[in-house]
Structure 1
Amino acid sequence: MGAWSSKAKPPLPEARPWSDLPPELAGLVLCRLPFLDRVRFGSVCRHWRHAVRQQTPALPPAFPWIISFNGLTYRSIQDGQVRRLSRPSKSTACWGFSENWLLLARPWHGHDPKNYNFLENPLSGAVIPLPGQLDPDMSVNGFAELACIHKFIVCPNNVIVATTISCPLVACCRPGMSSWSTSLHAGSESYYEDIAFYNGGIYAITTRGDLFKHEVSVDNGNGEAAVSSAKQVIKGNETVVVVSRFLVVSSCGNKLLMVNHEKCHGVQEGYVFKVFEADVEMARWSQVASLGDQVLFLSRKCSKAIPASTHDDEYFRGDKIYFLDRALQGPKKCRSQSGLTSSGLYDLRDNTYHPILSDNLHVGDVTSWFFPHK
């Protein structure tokens, strides 16, 4: 016992600060972190921030989030974990989303609504001020009537384009403009169900499947944007029973896709997704049998196509469609013990449905896809 105790204990290894983490190891850690954790990683110290800058070009894009309508919480489809975002003030109301922007408003109570409407990127803190109301005769609970905006898009040159609920109207503006430029297609008997920025123009799809194009121009003198009247480019098929239509630009940017959620007889689930490509020259829709490398994320407020090759994960495989807000027409396979869900996965290869986060999202949840980047 004495001989054993007389032996010198080996010295403990010298502790090294976390800031000395080699860049190659930092890269391995970053690749496995959710987007917000990547941001926090770079905030720890100067060395880790430098590692983030070095690794950013090689990092896989962040997974889309399912964001709640209040703009405060989101879920990851990978782990279902709920996380929170911050907003500039509790008095603001969130009326919509577009990719990585929140559409926010402050109560104006009949006063000048200038600067009361704005867009904010909750990750970078960037803010884009919006003009006042689209229609001065409309207001909702003391807020400027952003509630009537069905969908908005932030286009190149900071041109913001929006369409409203229950009418075929397109409006556009730029930061600093005093008012919206609007174009109401009086000749259409149905409203615009979705819009997309494609090939320099705004394309709008009606509930009947008619495709219209609006040109957007910017005055180089005063910087204000203007939207033209509608031009019909494709006539829809009124004989098809369609629950919802979506417009999505392909991941490579060279195709405009229409995705129909159709009621079909003689199939087990009763509803199928069909994808069509716009052939503007021939003025027709051509059905697409396969999406190839693309994964589509569909929701009423925001839809996007992402190349599957950018992610090495089971969630990103080509020919898949992730959808939200489809619970009222959703198939049985997208239901859980707690009831219907408002999210699901549709596989175009075999026309089958699969649940995602089935115990977290329920009928009545107003959600959208949010694509986290600064």
Structure 2
Amino acid sequence: ASCSPARTANRPRSRRDLSGLMEADKKPRSQPRSPWSDLPLDIGGVVFSRLPRYADRAAFALVCPQWRDAARRQVLTLPLPLPVLALPDGTFYSIFYPKLYSFPGCGFAGYESVCDSWLVFPRDDGCFLVNPFSRASFMLPALSSVRLLPPNAVAKWSLEDGSQVADPYITWMHINTSEKLHISKLLLCSPNLVAALVGIGHTSQILMCQPGASSWSVRAYDQCKGFEDMAFYQGKLYTIANDENLLVVNISQDHSTGDPQVSRIGQIIKGEPWYPAVFEDDTMCCKKLYLVESHGVLLMARRTIMCRVPGPGAVPIEVAGLTGFEVYKADFEHSRWVKVSTVGDDQLLFLGRRCSRAMSVSQYGLPGDYILFLDDDEENRMDYCYDRENTSFGAYKLGSDGVLFPHPYISWKLCDEMRLAAWLFPRDP
């Protein structure tokens, strides 16, 4: 949204016009007033409310102070702008409009994770987060700086058939020195609480800190799990592993530093999982799990991916386009998952490994009850291979029998560094 005052048509000036200009030259000059600033705030608010793209909202607020005031008043009543699709090479798409996002003078390539509107860049001296929209930034501790609970924890091993194995199971102490250690999920739960799933491959653990802290904290002897996702819902932190059990993470404060730490992890819902198995026709189903809040309800979305198995011991290969979703809501009263047939006529679920969210879209003239998802697997965390070179985001309507690809011009290669595609959720200026 760019605005410029209309230009007056060129015409010969009359003698009266010239004399008026001469008289004006004798008077002190004042700063010309832009007619755009005369736009009533209520009308400006209506215009602003019809802009679903963050770039247009930001441009609107930059026109003049009056328009910025109109934008700020509307922000309190409007839903968040539509998300952006971010690719690790620094390309950003507004998926419902045929154009790229542009951040002039800034390079945002090479991020390793996404958290809401923040790009995450882990470094040796800390974890750097930057908001490409507002240019705000802050630091989190490096993964090498972790406070152990208890502080004297050590890795425990045993020998089996002459090999050293974790005893009695894999803990943080068994993986914390791996060169492949990375953040697979990061949540800014509150201004004073950051939670992260950190691990290698399918194995990870829950770490916590607060912005500006010098270290993370971790329960050193808790069992590492195949955590699939994590969500902060109604003031509590929940995680789900590949067994589909829903766990609640109780949080306390360190008495000496005031830093947050995990005090206990308890099971809230016992899942009824299924695991990949090869059928008689040499096909198998793999799955991914996501947690997302929608209309005040915590949902688990299960994506199934149909694969073919070329031969005994071979890596399964995805069958392009053959994917489906089932969605369940958490019934806390009866400690169970309840299958739902719809996510809402006005809702879109944006699902990704690094960031997921449900959004109301009817006010933007978009159809609801769809799931938009990414092929965003982590390196060393794949149960199958792709049978195609390029990918894009897909759309799935619950109860349908196929996947839609709304904008085929948006695509990227399925190489390791590009699987970190993610949804980025901007906030209004």
Any idea what SS the aligned residue of 1:78 has?
coil
Q: CA deviation at 1:78?
A: 1.2
Report how far residue 277 of structure 1 moved.
1.6
2:118 to 95, 101, 104: 101
Is 1:244 aligned to residue 261 of structure 2?
no
Match of 1:371 in 2: 425
Over the residues paired in the alignment, what is the CA RMSD in angstroms?
Answer: 3.6
Query: Aligned partners of 2:221, 2:100: CA distance in 1, in Å?
Result: 41
Cα distance, 1:258 vs structure 2: 0.8
Measured in 2, the distance between the counterparts of 1:341 and 1:79 equals 19
Q: Confirm whether residue 44 of structure 1 aligns to residue 63 of structure 2.
A: yes
1:215 to 225, 250, 269: 250
Q: CA deviation at 1:203?
A: 1.6
Q: Which amino acid aligns with 1:121?
A: N
- Write the mapping of 1:20-35 to structure 2, written as runs, cut at 5 A: 20-30=38-48, 31-32=50-51, 34-35=53-54
Q: Report the structure number with the largest CA radius of gyration.
A: 2
Q: Please say which of residues 169-178 and 281-290 is displaced more in the overlay.
A: 281-290
Q: Which residue of structure 2 aligns with residue 356 of structure 1?
A: 406
**Alignment match of 1:289 (pick from 319, 336, 341):** 341
For 1:210-232, what per-residue CA distance to the aligned partner results, in whole angstroms no more than 9, with x for missing partners? 22221122358743111134323
Q: For residue 299 of structure 1, what is the amino acid of its counterpart?
A: G
Aligned length: 336
Alignment of 1:53-132 (within 5 A): 53-70=72-89, 72-85=90-103, 93-106=110-123, 108=124, 113=125, 116-132=126-142
Cα distance in 2 for partners of 1:54, 1:211 equals: 39
Q: Distance in 1 between matches of 2:301 and 2:74?
A: 36
Q: How does 1:148-187 map to 2 (within 5 A)?
A: 148-165=182-199, 166-183=202-219, 186-187=222-223
1:95-119 Cα deviation digits (max 9, x unpaired): 211111221244x4xxxx2xx3232
Q: Classify the secondary structure of the residue corresponding to 1:38.
A: helix
- Deviation string, structure 1 residues 14-61 (Cα, Å, up to 9, x no partner): x97333334354334432362123222222322332332344345453
The residue number in structure 2 matching 1:5 is: none
Amino acid at match of 2:237: I
Q: Per the alignment, do residues 44 and 150 of structure 1 end up closer, same or farther by CA in structure 2, a change over 3 Å counting?
A: same
- Superimposed CA distance per residue, residues 76-95 of structure 1 (whole angstroms, 9 cap, x where no aligned partner): 111131113378778x9522
- Equivalent residue, structure 1, for 2:324: 272
Query: Any conservation in 1 of the 2:392–2:405 contact (CA below 8 Å)?
Result: no
SS state of the match for residue 245, structure 1?
strand
In structure 2, runs of 5+ residues without a counterpart are: 1-13, 18-32, 147-175, 277-285, 308-319
Verify: 1:312 aligned to 2:364, yes or no.
yes
Which residue number corresponds to residue 279 of structure 2? Answer: none
Aligned 8 A contact 1:87 1:122 in 2:
no
| Distance apart, 1:360 and its partner CA | 1.6
Conservation of the 8 A alpha-carbon contact between 1:168 and 1:185: no
Change in Cα spacing, 1:168 to 1:58, as seen in structure 2 (3 Å) is: closer
- C-alpha change, 1:220 and 1:78, in structure 2 (3 Å) is farther
Question: Matches of 1:331 and 1:29 in 2, distance apart?
Answer: 44
1:296 partner letter: L
SS in 1 for 2:271: coil
C-alpha contact (below 8 Å) 1:290/1:348 kept by paired residues: yes
Counting aligned pairs with the same residue, the percent is 32
How far, CA to CA, are the matches of 1:119 and 1:171 in structure 2?
17
Query: 1:173-208: per-residue Cα shift (whole Å, max 9, x none)?
Result: 0023221111367546x4111111123332211123
Asked if the contact 2:145–2:215 (Cα under 8 Å) also holds between the matched residues in 1, the reply is: no
Structure 1 window deviating more from structure 2 (175-184 vs 297-306): it is 175-184
Residues 326 and 342 in structure 1, CA contact (< 8 A), matched pair in contact too: no
1:163 CA drift (Å): 0.2
Q: Distance in 2 between matches of 1:16 and 1:197?
A: 46
Partner letter of residue 149 of structure 1? I
Q: Residue 289 of structure 1: CA displacement?
A: 1.6
Question: Which secondary structure does the structure 1 equivalent of 2:364 belong to?
Answer: coil
Instruction: Pick closer, same or farther for the CA change 1:280–1:32 going to 2, 3 Å.
Output: closer
Change (3 A) 1:79 1:367: same
Match of 1:258 in 2: 300
- 288-297 vs 229-238, greater mean Cα deviation: 229-238
How far apart, in 2, do the equivalents of 1:278 and 1:49 lie?
A: 41
CA contact (8 A) 2:51 2:57 kept: no
Q: TM-score, normalised by structure 1?
A: 0.76
